[in-house]
Amino acid sequence: MDLKKLLPAILLLLLWFPGYSQRLAIMGAMDQEISILVEAMHKPKLSTIGGIDFYTGKLKGKKVVVLKAGIGKVNAAYSTAVLTQNFTLEGLIFTGVAGGLHPEALPGDIVIGTSLVQVDFGMLNSDGFTPWNFRNLSGEPHPELLLSADSSLIQLSLQASKLAEYEAISTRAPRIFQGVISTSDLFVSDPVKAKWLYSEFNSLATEMEGAAVAHICRFLEIPFVVIRSCSDNANTDAHVDFNAFVGPAAANSANLVLRMVELMQQ
């Protein structure tokens, strides 16, 4: 066989294959946050790796892998590590609920995370808490405290947010915010802490996974964005509101993501 003649075909195959094998990852922390997306997939295939259920297949014609990361930064980091070691990703979208911190944010509102910050990583001494920048595996701190999401995915989220259908939870139609999302291993149910997160970090919503996923995506150079819908306001009533609104808020975020995937296919 004349290998020289086959060379162009081999080169074409090599160029085509990485693109072909790439998938968009869509991740949530809980079943409610991913169920709409798995249900919308065409014949999803379930594979369990490292204890994590991965649903692969097409969503609105796009190759995706959908997974539940589990609650908290450790679960989110573990799931992202297993995901990235087993799939070639073109990008990652995190979808789910959060505690709204902006004074005008109401349950059902959307927050598009333009950057993520880990607010329980730092130094605690008698003067209080000083947050630290992210550190990579060699111990080097990242130059900035905030981890920026991918600008194209942010733009796409904004576009999709105008097209998505939402369940109205409060007295008005859901509002769209964009800005910092804060992450900690704490379910925030304290108005003083909520105010501190808003004033100290300019954080519009708080949750328990986003910055951990963002950290790994940045490390591996995977474009990412975090979309959240408010289930509560991180105040004294947070756990009551969370239980009441987690369903519709998770649906609002997932519906936005469905629109994003549609836009990607146009």
Active site residues: 33, 232
| Number of amino acids touching ligand ADE (CB under 6 A) | 14
Taking CB under 6 A as the criterion, which residues in 20-49 touch ligand ADE? none
Closest approach of ligand ADE to the CB of residue 84, in Å: 24
Closest approach of ligand ADE to the CB of residue 13, in Å: 45
Tokens read off for 153: 């995915």
Print the binding letters for residues 111-150 with ligand ADE: x by CB under 6 A, - otherwise. Answer: ----------------------------------------
**Is the CB of residue 199 less than 8 Å from the CB of residue 217?**
no
Minimum CB distance to ligand ADE smaller for 98 or for 260: 98
Q: Is 98 in the site for ligand ADE (CB under 6 A)?
A: yes
Distant-in-sequence, close-in-space partners of 245: CB < 8 Å, separation ≥ 6:
97, 107, 108, 169, 230, 231, 232
Taking CB under 6 A as the criterion, which residues in 211-240 touch ligand ADE? 231-232, 234, 238
Closest approach of ligand ADE to the CB of residue 178, in Å: 18
Minimum CB distance to ligand ADE smaller for 23 or for 102: 102
- One of 24, 154, 169, 188 touching ligand ADE (CB under 6 A): 188
Closest CA to 115 of 186, 188, 29, 201: 201
Closest approach of ligand ADE to the CB of residue 57, in Å: 28
SS (H, E, C) the chain: CCHHHHHHHHHHHHHHHHHHHCEEEEEECCHHHHHHHHHHEEEEEEEEECCEEEEEEEECCEEEEEEECCCCHHHHHHHHHHHHHHCCEEEEEEEEEEEECCCCCCCCCEEEEEEEEECCCEEEECCEEEECCCECCCCCECCCCCEECCHHHHHHHHHHHHHCCCCCCCCCCCCEEEEEEEECCCCCCCHHHHHHHHHHHCEEEEECCHHHHHHHHHHHCCCEEEEEEEEECCCCCHHHHHHHHHHHHHHHHHHHHHHHHHHHCC
Minimum CB distance to ligand ADE smaller for 29 or for 83: 29
Minimum CB distance to ligand ADE smaller for 96 or for 223: 96
- One of 80, 95, 115, 206 touching ligand ADE (CB under 6 A): 206
Q: Is 207 in the site for ligand ADE (CB under 6 A)?
A: yes
Minimum CB distance to ligand ADE smaller for 145 or for 238: 238
Minimum CB distance to ligand ADE smaller for 40 or for 208: 208
Closest approach of ligand ADE to the CB of residue 21, in Å: 34
The residues that touch ligand ADE, with contacts defined as CB under 6 A, are 97-99, 187-189, 206-208, 231-232, 234, 238, 242
